[in-house]
Amino acid sequence: MTMVMFTKNREVKGLHQLFLDQIRDLYNVEHQQIRAFPRFAEAALHPEYRTIVNKHFEQTKNHILRLEKIFENLGENPTDRECAAVKALIQKSHDIAEKNYGPRALEAALIAAVQYIEHYEIAGYGAVRSFARQLGDDESANLLQQTLNEEAHMDRLLSELAEYEVNSRAAEVSTRLFHA
């Protein structure tokens, strides 16, 4: 059985409109990150974390340009509608920074907070890339794949930093405090 969902005005919208709505969402996500990433970088002590976040800050500017190119090719405006999900994730990272975890655990928490946002983006860019392919828009699909690759790379770098260094240092401090 196929279920059809209707909007409030009962007008059925297709994949093209879904594609537009989702890239508008991602456009806002990237803009929210431009505002938030400098604070993410400042909050951590680990120099490699700062380097990763600052590099991704520069990549994010290119993500915005790619999305603007897609909008231009489609003859659409890149209206900036707020993505409440990422706004909440950014707020969560601010809440984390205000808790007294100690500097090592704070770094682990900040990496996790940034990864929540990266995972949202990876899911979003993967979906819209698939939509673009289905719609026969190879140029958009290629631009979106470039961004998807950069988002996945950022996530891998953060995972490696967390797993092989930051989390273990946070655990050492916690273990010493717990056993003291």
CATH architecture of 15-179: Up-down Bundle (1.20)
Number of other CB atoms surrounding residue 25 within 10 Å: 18
pLDDT at 104 over 90: no
pLDDT at 173: 59
Ranges of each domain in the chain: 15-179
* Amino acid 12: pLDDT: 52
Tens of pLDDT, residue by residue over 135-162, are 999 999 999 999 999 999 999 999 999 9
pLDDT at 10 over 60: no
Give me the helix-helix angle, 103-134 and 84-98, nearest 10°. Answer: 170
DSSP 98-167: HS---HHHHHHHHHHHHHHHHHHHHHHHHHHHHHHHHTT-HHHHHHHHHHHHHHHHHHHHHHHHIIIIIH
Give Cα 22 distance to the centre of its chain: 13
Spatial CA neighbour of 15 closest among 143, 147, 141, 133: 133
Is residue 32 over pLDDT 80?
yes
